[in-house]
Structure 1
Amino acid sequence: MPNVRPVPTVRRRRLGEALRRYRNEAGMNLDVAAQAMGWIGPKLSRIETANGHIRPNEITPLLKVYGVEDSEVVTALEGLAKDARKQGWWQTYSGVVAPTYADYISLESDADSIRAYAPLVIPGLLQTAAYARETIAANAFTRSSQEVAALAEVRQARQAVLTRPDRPLKMWAVIHEAVLHQRFAARPATMREQLRRLLDVAEMPDVTLQLMPLASTPHPGGAGGFTLAGFPGPMPDVVTLENLSGATYVEGVDEVRVYADAFERIVAAALSMDDTLARIAEMEERSRE
């Protein structure tokens, strides 16, 4: 099983993308910008492509070269440079957490908000422990029972972002109603408990929950699910796309905007929050019969 890379590369990619954007806006090429910093060789190119490291105290002078002195921008990028080598709690599970998954957890832990369209499975931040074990075992069918149990622990630990004392994560999830009709033969109570969990978590002030009804109008979610992570200050959002092989990331500003627009259309096609909770409560009641 591969170990997690010691540096969460998604943080370095976000930093490199931001620095490249400010350089381009300043109309400077790599050689001119590097020379202005007194750097020798392709250091700046490596930084922008996430193959090299930039120290936090190099951020301010580099941004000054680009004519960027906005304190909010400087603080945000200095913080990202500082955190680029930070080890997260998930490093404890490096034997089972793949590098792309570790990248996603670091994104989630840095984010201010998560917007998710979930057509196939309930988002991990909203799952019960039993639902997590069942779905992980089904999807990660090459994993041992011990690895499945460890991954379920990771999924539960991730949920702490919803109750962070300083800045709880704002989550907006649109779940397709078909997901709630799934049955678990080995443990029939799993979905009933999961429905109850959704009703409970929907009462949290920073959680918005909607169902996409079975009889919905056509919408962009027909192309598949996605998660859109939003960050404080000037940092660009990042989209995550998942499949059996892991996760891929959409990080370009224009590309991410397509998903943000798609999410607005998905929200418009979904049930209201009140109707969503009524539908889930009805399903939870029927599951007791």
Structure 2
Amino acid sequence: MPTGGRPTVRSRRLGAALKEYRRAAKVDQPQAAELLGVHQTRVSRIESGHVTARVLEIRTLLDAYGIGNPEVRTKLEALSKNANRRGWWLEHAAHLRPDYLDHITLEDDATYIRDWEPVLFPGLLQTAAYAEASITSGPDYIAPELVAQLVKVREERQAKISEGGASYTAIIWEAVVTHPLVDAEIHRSQLAAILETGKRKNVTVQVLPFTAGALAGSASAFSSFSFDSEPTVEAVTLENLRGTSVLESSEDLAAYANAYDLLRSAALTPDTSATLIRRALRSSEDAS
């Protein structure tokens, strides 16, 4: 059961899926409660993520909803078993916002991660120096010891990519590559790091060129996540001034999946993107 009265991101995903299947089967909450032999309140709390359904409850409900797909059933049972699983990031929990912990949990569970970044290099690709520079350049004062903690978390998040735990695609606006927002030396090191990381088989880096026009301004930075063998978008996170928002409704997911497809179609190929990044790196070195 989620602790502290706050649903975990996994319990919310489980509850949302069960709610979707219940509605598709035209079963109401009182009927679902009768199937489980519980009060309707428990079904409501399961679907909101405030309570995690037990594996036996999941099997009973999916049987009643006509969901026989073994992959779906296995995934939902795994969400139940792992709803409160402790991840490496919980040792930093006292210093991190709950919504940021949600983002990290989604990252940790994902099989496919996609980032769109029109301002900064994505966190999963940042060097420690670039991460520190971007964190300290924000509008809020952050104590030096907390900056160090946040940089460490950002580095530890990158293990998901470096260890091949997910397929990762980043689309970055050309301005991020060619117009440094940090110290020039830090920017050069970041460009070199991007070129190295882009060589990994599970990593794709594409640059959206200036010639794409207004498309670059059509969406602020976002990340999308898939959790199965197919890259169907199942969660999206958005960064804003005060935190991270998690989107999970089918309408929102479809809109952001479409936005990413448009950005990817307009972006340079990975090889051409690498050429542009190398050119920007050489230009920066020549200017130094």
Indicate the TM-score class for this superposition, using the shorter chain for normalisation: over 0.9
1:7 touches 1:85 (CA, 8 Å); kept in 2? no
Mind listing any 5+ residue stretches in structure 1 that lack a counterpart?
Answer: none
In 2, Cα distance between equivalents of 1:270 and 1:240: 21
Matched, 1:224 2:212: no
What is the count of residue pairs matched by the alignment? Answer: 282
Deviation at 1:178, TM superposition (A): 1.0
The equivalent of 1:179 in structure 2 is 176
Give the structure, 1 or 2, with the largest relative contact order (CA under 8 Å, sep 6 or more): 1
Counterpart of 1:27, as a letter, is K
Instruction: Give secondary structure in 1 for the equivalent of 2:224.
Output: strand
Deviation at 1:8, TM superposition (A): 6.5
TM-score by length of 2: 0.92
Matched, 1:210 2:206: yes
Instruction: Give secondary structure in 2 for the equivalent of 1:288.
Output: helix
The equivalent of 2:12 in structure 1 is 13
1:221 touches 1:262 (CA, 8 Å); kept in 2? no
Instruction: Give secondary structure in 1 for the equivalent of 2:212.
Output: coil
Matched, 1:261 2:261: no
**Map of 1:10-159 to 2, 5 A cutoff?**
10-139=9-138, 141-159=140-158
Question: Can you list the C-alpha shifts for 1:202-260, whole angstroms capped at 9, x where unaligned?
Answer: 10011111111123233275232211111116986101110120111110123201111
In 2, Cα distance between equivalents of 1:140 and 1:155: 19
Matched, 1:195 2:191: yes
RMSD between aligned residues: 2.0
Instruction: Give secondary structure in 1 for the equivalent of 2:96.
Output: coil
The equivalent of 1:287 in structure 2 is 284
1:76 touches 1:233 (CA, 8 Å); kept in 2? no
In 1, Cα distance between equivalents of 2:101 and 2:6: 10
TM-score by length of 1: 0.92
Deviation at 1:12, TM superposition (A): 1.2
**Worse overlay, 7-16 or 18-27:** 7-16
Deviation at 1:11, TM superposition (A): 1.0
In 2, Cα distance between equivalents of 1:13 and 1:135: 31
Instruction: Give secondary structure in 1 for the equivalent of 2:200.
Output: coil
2:233 touches 2:257 (CA, 8 Å); kept in 1? no
2:111 touches 2:229 (CA, 8 Å); kept in 1? no
Deviation at 1:275, TM superposition (A): 1.4
Q: Which runs of 4+ in 1 moved over 4 A?
A: 4-8, 233-236
Deviation at 1:54, TM superposition (A): 1.5
Mind listing any 5+ residue stretches in structure 2 that lack a counterpart?
Answer: none
In 2, Cα distance between equivalents of 1:140 and 1:103: 23
Matched, 1:249 2:243: no
